[in-house]
């Protein structure tokens, strides 16, 4: 029996993970946490016999504590960290959104707990420090992101030095094929209508700007230790090829399947075993054709911004991520246009650049400064 802690359990990845747990004989949930959806969180706790939960939002935590007498409710970012360190979990699934996932990632790896990582921002913000921590404690990082789960599986059997190149596929999002001018007036509703994947709001907007793919390039670099110039992105609108690995002998390996996050989630939760997931087998005759195209970096500059921040290193990816989080929320709130997302990120990066990364504190400082700068820039545009 594997003891599992689910962080972000009311979100898209979290609810699908609990669906997998219910079908599995080998997984037991020992703790749950959410941002602020306390009623749903308590419902999950009752269903899975969990006695301890945490809510990042203190008001939501207070309400939950009042309503729930059968267990304990921890509160705030410290509560999340305590939930992790005191859980005695064998595996922590981090499905939190944004840089808020970094603290629990560090807590889990610091305790030597294996980490099923859906929170890509943990690696974008603090990849060097996070992977060094995992190395030091012997904890394993198992990617849940579909592209990285694919790469993890493709690379697993290959000897060191055989991998020449990683190719991440991108659906292209709802605005694939549009020019920069055509993107100026797009609405929140249009941006939230992802063609192939059903996900939470933040990642769906990241997919529409292609920032998601930029974050994923950084994530792949840290997970697999491959230099940035050997990580490519190709647009593949059907989202059936989840990623590819090119090897030194000219062979290219691809990972295919219908887009369903339960597949990579199940892989991470059961690794190194596999468990059945009720998804249809891929029917290539029905699919007929797979198509691929280059990214239009003029219309979607976020991928280039992410690559530039990645190459600059230090605190630059942290700054990029924080500015993006603020800009995406402003877009979702109707305070910023779609093109303003990339413009804000670029302006914040120009202002703050890359500072050396000495410690976790330099990340928290960079994160705070970037958020303040982004808020100020967005306020000044109005």
Phi-psi category of 367—alpha, beta or left, where left has phi over 0 and alpha has psi -120 to 50?
Answer: alpha
Closest to Mg ion by CB, 147 or 367? 147
Q: How many CB atoms lie within 10 A of CB 235?
A: 20
Distances (CA, A) of 205 to 16, 147, 216, 360: 20, 18, 14, 28
Q: Residue 162 or 192: which CB sits closer to Mg ion?
A: 192
The correct pick among 114, 121, 145, 206 for binding Mg ion (CB under 5 A) is 145
We find the least distance from the C-beta atom of residue 220 to Mg ion, in angstroms, to be 10
Q: Assess 114 for contact with Mg ion (CB under 5 A).
A: no
Q: How far is the CB of 167 from Mg ion (least distance, A)?
A: 14
Question: Min. distance of Cβ 196 from Mg ion in angstroms?
Answer: 11
Q: Which stretch binds Mg ion (CB under 5 A): 9-17, 139-147, 244-252, 260-268?
A: 139-147
75 vs 243, which CB is nearer to Mg ion? Answer: 243
Using the rule CB under 5 A, give the single segment among 43-51, 137-145, 291-299, 343-351 that binds Mg ion.
Answer: 137-145
For the bound state, the minimum distance from the C-beta of residue 219 to Mg ion, rounded and expressed in Å, comes to 9
Do 18 and 9 form a contact (C-beta atoms < 8 A)?
Answer: yes
Asked if 100 and 202 touch (Cβ cutoff 8 Å), the reply is no
Residue whose CB is less far from Mg ion, 109 or 217: 217
DSSP 197: -
Q: How far apart are CA 204 and CA 27, in angstroms?
A: 29
Contact letters for Mg ion, residues 24-63 (x by CB under 5 A): ----------------------------------------
Instruction: Tell me the closest approach of the beta carbon of residue 273 to Mg ion, in angstroms.
Output: 23
By CB under 5 A, the residues from 161 to 180 that bind Mg ion are: none
Q: Read off the tokens for 28.
A: 């037991």
Q: What is the DSSP letter of 9?
A: T
Q: Cβ of residue 264: shortest distance to Mg ion, in angstroms? A: 9
Shortest distance in whole angstroms from residue 105 CB to Mg ion = 17
Tell whether omega for the bond before 272 is within 30 degrees of 0, i.e. cis.
yes
Of 35-43, 128-136, 141-149, 278-286, the window that binds Mg ion (rule: CB under 5 A) is 141-149
x/- letters, 340..369, toward Mg ion (CB under 5 A): ------------------------------
Kindly give, in sequence order, each residue whose CB lies less than 8 Å from that of residue 141, ignoring residues fewer than 6 positions away. Answer: 109, 114, 115, 117, 130, 131, 134, 223
Site size for Mg ion (CB under 5 A): 3
DSSP 292-330: -B---TTT-THHHHHHHHHHH-TTHHHHHHHHHHHHHHH
Q: Would you tell me how many other CB atoms lie within 10 Å of the CB of residue 43?
A: 12
Two tokens, residue 292:
């691929």
Structural tokens at position 356: 């050396």
The residue among 44 and 204 lying less far from Mg ion, judged by its C-beta, is 204
**Please, which residue, 50 or 240, has the CB nearer to Mg ion?**
240
The span from the CA of 287 to the CA of 240, in Å, is 9
Question: Any idea what DSSP says for residue 281?
Answer: P
Shortest approach of Mg ion to residue 146 CB, angstroms? 5
As measured in angstroms, the least distance from the Cβ of 255 to Mg ion is 12
Contacting positions for Mg ion (CB under 5 A): 145-147
């Amino acid at each position: 029996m594997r003891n599992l802690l689910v962080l972000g359990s009311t979100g898209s990845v979290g609810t699908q993970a609990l669906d997998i747990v219910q079908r599995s004989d080998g997984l037991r949930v020992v703790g749950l946490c959410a941002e602020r959806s306390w009623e749903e969180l308590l419902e999950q706790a009752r269903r899975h016999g969990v006695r301890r939960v945490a809510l990042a939002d203190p008001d939501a935590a207070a309400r939950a504590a009042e309503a729930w007498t059968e267990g304990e409710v921890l509160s705030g970012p410290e509560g999340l960290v305590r939930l992790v360190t005191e859980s005695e979990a064998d595996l922590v699934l981090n499905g939190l959104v944004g840089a808020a996932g970094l603290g629990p990632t560090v807590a889990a790896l610091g305790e030597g707990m294996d980490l099923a990582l859906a929170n890509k921002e943990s690696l974008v913000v603090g990849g060097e420090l996070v992977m060094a921590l995992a190395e030091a404690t012997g904890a394993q990082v198992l990617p849940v992101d579909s592209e990285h789960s694919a790469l993890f599986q493709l690379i697993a059997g290959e000897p060191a030095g055989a991998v020449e190149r990683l190719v991440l596929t991108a659906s292209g999002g709802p605005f694939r094929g549009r020019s920069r001018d055509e993107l100026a007036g797009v609405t929140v509703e249009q941006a939230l209508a992802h063609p192939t994947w059903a996900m939470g709001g933040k990642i769906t907007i990241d997919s529409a700007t292609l920032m998601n793919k930029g974050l994923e390039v950084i994530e792949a670099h840290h997970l697999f230790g491959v230099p940035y110039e050997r990580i490519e992105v190709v647009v593949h609108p059907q989202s059936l090829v989840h990623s590819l690995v090119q090897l030194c002998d000219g062979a290219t390996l691809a990972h295919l399947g219908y887009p369903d996050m339960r597949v990579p989630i199940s892989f991470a939760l059961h690794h190194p075993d596999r468990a059945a997931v009720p998804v249809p087998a891929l029917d290539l005759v029905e699919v007929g054709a797979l198509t691929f195209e280059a990214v239009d970096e003029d219309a979607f500059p976020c991928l280039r911004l992410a690559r530039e921040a990645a190459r600059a290193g230090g605190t630059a990816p942290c700054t990029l991520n924080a500015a993006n989080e603020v800009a995406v929320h402003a877009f979702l709130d109707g305070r910023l246009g779609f093109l303003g997302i990339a413009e804000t990120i670029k302006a914040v990066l120009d202002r703050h650049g890359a500072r050396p990364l000495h410690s976790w504190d330099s990340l928290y400082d960079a994160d705070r400064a970037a958020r303040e700068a982004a808020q100020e820039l967005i306020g000044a545009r109005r």
